[in-house]
Every structure is written in C-alpha cells, then in structure tokens.
Amino acid sequence: MIDGAMDADITLDIRNLETHFAADPGVSKAVDGVSFTVRRNETLAVVGESGSGKSVTSLSVMRLIPTPPGRIAGGEILFRGRDGRVRDLARLSEKEMRSVRGNEIGMIFQEPMTSLNPVYSVGDQIGEALRYHQGMDRKAARAEALALLKKVGIPAAERRLDEFPHQMSGGMRQRVMIAMALACRPTLLIADEPTTALDVTIQAQILDLMRRLQAETGTSILFITHNLGVVAEIAHRVVVMYSGRVVEEGDVRSLFKNPRHPYTRGLLACMPNLGQSRGEAARLEAIPGNVPSPMNRPKGCTFAPRCPWAEPACTTAEPALEPVSPDHSARCRRWRDLP
Amino acid sequence: MTTQPLLQVRGLEKKFPIRGGLLQRPVGWVKAVDDLSFDLNRGEVLGLVGESGSGKTTAGRSILRLIEPTSGSIRFDGEEVTGLPPAKMRALRRRMQIVFQDPYASLDPRQRVRDVIGEALTIHNIGTKADRRDRIAALLQKVGLTADAMDRFPHEFSGGQRQRIGIARALAVEPDFIVADEPVSALDVSVQAQVVNLLDDLRRELGLAVLFIAHDLAVVRYISDRVAVMYLGRLMELAPSDSLYDRPRHPYTRALLSAAPEPDPDAPKQRMLLEGDVPSPMNPPSGCVFRTRCPYALPACAEPAASIPREVAPGHVVSCIRDDVIMA
Ligand SMILES: Nc1ncnc2c1ncn2[C@@H]1O[C@H](COP(=O)(O)OP(=O)(O)OP(=O)(O)O)[C@@H](O)[C@H]1O
Ligand SMILES: Nc1ncnc2c1ncn2[C@@H]1O[C@H](COP(=O)(O)OP(=O)(O)O)[C@@H](O)[C@H]1O
Ligand code: SF4
Ligand code: SF4
Ligand SMILES: [Mg+2]
Ligand SMILES: [Mg+2]
C-alpha cells in the first residue's frame, strides 16, 4: 500500500513509466521514462505527433498493452480509487485490474465502433457495466442507462436505448461511449483522441459535453490528442510528448503563451492562423525532417536533428526536465535562451 | 481569351444508387453533389470545405470525370468536358491532375519512384526515354526530394515524403489544374506545414489552378484565394477568403467557423453550437438542406426557393433566404 505518498487531490501519478515492445532485432522503447500527474477536477492533455507514445501511455495505465510483444518494463502508475486508496496499477493482477477498468477508470477511444459491441443494443451495453461493477438488477440498470443517455444529450433516448451502434452516427456513438465510460462514476476518465474522427461541429458538441460533465462530477480527465486547438479548448494542464518522452509540461496558459521547448514552439508556429488573412500571413514555419522512430532515437536531445536552436552539446547528453516556473518545466538545455 | 475562367462548373449533379435486398437493386439515391456551380481562374486556388459526406471528393472527382457526373456542365478552357469521347478525354487529362489524401494508399508499393512518376510521362508520351530520367530528377528536386529517391520504393519514405512523391507524379505532365483532395490531412502537423508550403510555392511558380479540398479551415484560409462551403451536397457559400472568414454570411459557415478550435487558451469561446447531426443524404430536408440544424429556420426555408444560391455582394454567393440574417 502506498497511502500518503501522494497528495490527496491527485488521482493519477505516473512515475518514470517505461513501456517497451520486443522488436526484431532489439527493443522499441515506445514510452521511455514518462512522469506526470492528474489532479481531481482537472483535465490534463497529452499532446504530440503520431508515434510519440501517447496511446502507449494511456494503454499502460489501463493495462491494455498487448503482451507479448509489449510490457511495462519499469515505473509506477499510482492511482487513487473511489475509496481514496492508492494502488500501483503497474503491479495489479489482471483480476484486480478488471474491477478497475470500466469502473473506477472510464475509457473513450477515437473510434467508438472498435469498443462498442455491434451485437448488443446500446442500452444492454451500458447496463452490463452497471450490473457487473455495481451489482444492479436488470431493471435498475436499464433505468440508469436511460438516464445516462439523456445526460449525454442523445435525443429520443428511450428509442435509442434499444438501437445498435451501427444505427447511430459517429457523434452519437461517441456520446454512447461517454455515457458508458461515466456509468460507474469513475474517478479518472481516459479519452484517447475522442474527437479526432469527428467533424468540427460535432467535436464542439462533445468537448462542451465533457466540460459540463466534469464540472458536475469532478472526474479527472486524461485527454490525449494531437490537436493543439483542442488542447487550448479543454485542458487545464498540458504534457507535450516527443519520441517517447515528456519534453515540456505546464499549465495551459504558460505553455501556449510562453513555450520553453523548441518543439512546442515549432508545433505552435507551424499551424496557420484562422483569423489571419492570406496577404498578411507569413510563410508557415515547418519543422524540418520527421519524428524519429523509437528504434532509432538520436543520441542526446532527441529533437536535436530538427531543432533550429541545437548546439554541439545538445547531441552529447540528454537534457533533464528542468523547472521553468512552479507549474512549468522543459527538457531543453537552452530554454533560458529562447526569445 | 485569357480572361475566361479556366474551369466553369454549372449545375453539377452526381447521384449514387443505394442498393439493397438480395438482388442489390437500387432502393434509393444519394445526391452526393447537387446543383454546384463555380468558376476557377488560371493560377487561382479555390478551397472547398464542409463536413464529412458533404460531397467534396465527389465534386472533385466528377470534375475530372474520374467518376461520371449525373448532369451539369463542366467547361475546361472553353471546352465542354462532359460527354467528351475517351480519346479526347485522355488528352485533356494531361492538363488536369489529382493529389490524393492518403499517401500510403495512393502509391503502388511495388513500383519504384521513377516508375510511379515515369508512368504518367509514358502514357502521355512526354519526352524521350533518355531525357525522362532527367525530367524525373528535376521533378523530385522541385518537390524537395533528392534524385536518388528515384530508385527506392514508396514504403521507404515517410508520410510527408510520400505526399511529395504524389505531388511530383501529378506535376509530371505539367497540368494547368490539380484537384488536391485532403493532401495534408493524413500528415503530422509539423510535416503538414512542409507540404502546404510546397503546394503554395508550386502554384505560384507554375501558375497552377488548384481545387484544394480540406477539413482544416485554417489551412484552407492560408492557401486559398476563394473558398466554397458545402453541406449535404449543396453549396452554402462561396466568397473571397477574407470575406468568408472575416464576414461569413451563411448561418452554416458561421457555425463551422465558430466550432473550429483555436490554439489559444485566451480565445473567446462564444460558440454557435449546432444541435444534432447532419441528416441522412438519402433523405435530405426539402428546400434549404441546412434547415434542420439552423437556428434561424423559418417555414419558408422548406420551400425549393430557399436552396438557390444567389450573389449577395460582388463575388459573394450565399444560399439562404434570410436577408436579415446574412446581411447582419
Ligand atoms: N460510390 C458511392 N456510392 C454511394 N454513395 C457514395 C459513393 N461515393 C460517395 N457517396 C456518398 O456521397 C456523399 C458525398 O461523399 P463524398 O465522399 O464526396 O464526401 P466528402 O465531402 O468528400 O467527405 P469526407 O470529408 O468524409 O471526405 C456521401 O453521402 C457518401 O456516402
Ligand atoms: N503493439 C505494438 N507493437 C509494437 N510497437 C508498438 C505497438 N503499439 C505502439 N507501438 C509503437 O510505440 C510507439 C508509440 O506509439 P503510440 O503510443 O501509439 O503513439 P501515439 O502518440 O501516436 O499514440 C510507436 O513507435 C509505435 O509504433
Ligand atoms: S536541448 Fe538543444 S537540441 Fe534539444 S531542444 Fe534544446 S536547444 Fe534544441
Ligand atoms: S435558408 Fe433558412 S434554414 Fe437555410 S440557412 Fe437560411 S435561415 Fe437557415
Ligand atoms: Mg494514438
Ligand atoms: Mg472526401
């Protein structure tokens, strides 16, 4: 038991997580020493380009890493459950994990069709979680499922209860996923690219819904996305991942207004501005090159080959994640020099 | 002659049959594109935006006759393209090319890059065998790759590099016009900017006219001279970029722009949240197709007249009957 080792308002405390995949030859360190915390009532966004290790991090927390080839090779995933007890998810048995997943931790994925069962009605699927985890009877579970569908704003909820996932639009399926994830009043909600497959008008509805539900329930949200616009919209704090590591972390305002890592700055600079006319827009600042593969990470700072600020020392030793201000840190030896 | 638009699309319509039952008989129709009209000038970029299923891809492909339009007129450099016999169409294809969204799926994995690009040169009989190699090298350089890329296979390249190869293939025949269907949507943001810059340089340098289809409204503004907004197969609004983004008139355009998340935590979040989903394209609402989600809808919006695009200011076309709303 690890009670007391963690602030009372922290829901999730990931410490030095290492998740590796066996590769041929060698090993791919998809997540390579990642640490961050998520507090109660807080939305933490993890942002980064594809392959940076966002999904592997979230799958590690849920213990859904396919083994083999994958395994959690090190670190701790401290999680505070509904009863206030702190456990290290990295060390729970599969049986114990089953009582956490879909219960104390809710999950929403990018493509709801992969996580909804096509042969059960949505009412039965939501009800199933309530019966399994909360021991409700069939009738109570159905009533609760109906209440949840209404809560997530599904029109004609009574009728929808008996429909199957394929009869619904993408946005509606995502609402069903959210209803299911919230069914057992989780203390932590993990949302991995929950709006990436949706159109912007539907995305706006879903983000609005998530904000309202958090205000009501105080659930901590771990929100994974590659879209900085969505981050600015939903997050309180932000973790920027690059090539399996955290390169910058901070509250959302510091991160957007005063980024201290060249990668974060590059990501912000390469996005065109919706409010800027073509005539006055400068050429987009592209980041040269590509994200390195975890099998082939550059020595020293992994961003060095693409970094306009790189100096010779950058390629010899990996910089540490240094505090910039009380709630802001950056993994760059030159963070003080950036304008 | 040069004042005439390069491309004139009038009343373009494309219907797809919906098949059902054991015999796969048509049980209904989807009007993927309905009554679409616009001009595109030489060297101009027209952005085409709209939600999934609004008909952007269908419009782009119908214009190139990669799929047969159901009705309407497409004039390219003064010549009617619909109904053109295959031999003439082949010759015209040299001037009209397409760049696809998915750089992984759109290149043949068994072809070396030199064959991917060279194929188009062979089909159109461009250059001698000997100088094709030089041409391919020059094209690769133009899109920011080195000539040695020629002897490699597509899987040896990253997504951004593959998209460059796709662009080089489209440019090989020196077209006047390309349809770029979500050319950067599958790419990481850092790489997306590389490809957007490349397209922007090329159209300037080569005087290309581009129909640029995309979801990302900011990217579209960045690259387009004018922008068209589609919804359920129909044109909602068409205007010069600055007018459309700074003074959107159609309620749908306004909703779309206000839903776009901005990378600024201090940006005002006055959302015009649309209720509900896009209706089924098999059974679209009568009159204005947007009326089931429009906060300003009136009974008259269900009448056929409500769906007709009209010019409300020079070069600014809007399909909405409520002057009080669109002029506000
Ligand atoms: N071959 C086809 N058969 C039947 N229906 C089709 C076919 N191709 C497209 N459609 C339908 O036509 C409509 C327009 O599709 P289209 O692919 O043009 O949309 P889009 O605007 O390009 O969407 P996206 O943003 O998702 O690419 C949709 O309702 C689609 O389901
Ligand atoms: N099942 C797996 N087997 C082997 N490698 C994997 C597996 N899942 C993910 N990876 C690798 O781990 C790295 C991080 O992937 P992921 O977390 O999915 O990235 P993202 O940030 O896009 O979510 C990538 O290099 C990916 O190829
Ligand atoms: S440590 Fe050096 S290479 Fe790495 S981000 Fe900072 S300046 Fe760039
Ligand atoms: S015609 Fe009517 S329903 Fe359509 S956009 Fe205008 S006000 Fe809305
Ligand atoms: Mg992912
Ligand atoms: Mg499309």
Q: Identify the band that residue B311 occupies on the pLDDT scale cut at 50, 70 and 90.
A: very high
3-state secondary structure of A238: strand
Name the 3-class secondary structure at B327: coil
Q: Which of B324, B313, B328 is nearest to B237 (CA)?
A: B313
Distance CA A58, CA A222 (A): 8
DSSP assignment of B57-74, as one string? Answer: HHHHHHHTTSS--SEEEE
Using CA coordinates, name the residue in chain B closest to A263.
Answer: B190
> Tell me, what's the pLDDT at A267?
94
Nearest residue of A to residue B244, measured between CA atoms: A277
Cα–Cα distance measured from residue B148 to residue A171, given in angstroms and rounded to the nearest whole number? 46
Position B248 pLDDT exceeds 90: yes
Which residue of A210, A271, A296 is the best one to mutate when testing the B interface, meaning the one whose CB has the most B CBs within 10 A?
A271
Residue ranges of domains in chain A: 3-104+186-272+281-287, 118-183
| pLDDT, one tens digit for every residue, chain A (339 residues) | 454 578 889 999 999 999 999 988 889 999 999 999 999 999 999 999 888 999 999 999 999 999 999 999 999 999 999 999 999 999 999 999 999 999 999 999 887 667 789 999 999 999 999 999 999 999 999 999 999 999 888 888 998 999 999 888 888 898 999 999 999 999 999 999 999 888 898 899 999 999 999 999 999 999 999 999 999 999 999 999 999 999 999 999 999 999 999 999 999 999 998 988 877 777 888 888 888 888 888 999 999 999 999 999 999 999 999 999 999 999 999 999 999
pLDDT score of B289: 97
Among A14, A21, A61, the mutation site with the greatest number of ligand 2 atoms within 8 A of its Cβ is A21
Distance A53 CA to ligand 5 centre (A): 7
* pLDDT at B2 > cutoff 60: no
- Cα–Cα distances in angstroms (integers) from residue A263 to residues A132, A196, A310, B191, in the given order: 45, 22, 11, 13
Alpha helices in A183-337 (DSSP H): 200-217, 228-234, 252-257, 262-269
DSSP B175-212: -SEEEEESTTTTS-HHHHHHHHHHHHHHHHHHT-EEEE
* Domain range summary for chain B, segments of one domain joined by +: 7-83+215-326
pLDDT tens readout for residues B117-159: 998 888 888 888 888 899 999 999 888 888 889 999 998 887 8
**Rounded average pLDDT over B294-314:** 95
Residue pointed to by tokens 């983004």: B245
Instruction: Compute the distance between CA of residue A46 and CA of residue A241 in angstroms, rounded to an integer.
Output: 7
Distance between A283 CA and the closest CA of chain B, angstroms: 7
Locate the DSSP E strands across B147-289. 177-181, 209-213, 226-231, 234-240
CB of A329 sitting under 6 A from ligand 2: no
Residues of B in contact with A278 (CB under 8 A): 221-225, 241-242
* Amino acid, res. A228: L
Stretch B303-310: mean pLDDT: 94
Residue in B160, B265, B274 closest to A252 by CB: B265
Q: What is the ipTM of this complex?
A: 0.88
Nearest CA to ligand 4 atom 3: B291
Q: What is the CATH number of domain A3-104+186-272+281-287?
A: 3.40.50.300
How many angstroms separate the alpha carbon of residue B298 from the centre of ligand 1? 29
Q: What atom in ligand 3 is closest to the CA of residue A247?
A: 5
Between A50, A204, A281, which is nearest B259 by CB? A204
What is the structure's pLDDT at B144? 86
What CATH number has the domain spanning B7-83+215-326?
3.40.50.300
As a residue count, chain A comes to: 339
Dist CA B160 CA B158 (whole Å): 6
Backbone angles phi, psi at B257, to 5 degrees: -70, -40
pLDDT the model gives residue B52: 86
Share of chain B above pLDDT 90, in %: 69
> Can you give the pLDDT at residue A296?
83
Give the whole-angstrom CA distance, residue A315 versus residue B128: 48
Mean pLDDT across the stretch B229-245?
97
More confident residue, B109 or A254: A254
Apex B198 CA angle, B197 and B202, nearest 5 = 120
Is the shortest distance between the CB of B196 and ligand 4 below 6 Å? no
How many residues does the structure list for chain B?
328
Q: What is the mean pLDDT of residues B276-294?
A: 91
Non-local CB neighbours of A91 within 8 Å, separated by 6+ positions: none
Burial of A232 (0-12, 13-18, 19+ CB in 10 A): buried
d(CA B274, CA B278): 10
| E strand segments, chain A | 10-22, 27-39, 43-47, 70-80, 86-88, 105-108, 188-192, 220-225, 237-242, 245-251, 322-325, 328-330
The sign of the torsion formed by the CA atoms of A263, A265, A266, A271 equals: positive
If one residue of A309, A329, A331, A336 were mutated to test the ligand 3 pocket, choosing by the most ligand atoms within 8 A of its CB, it would be A309
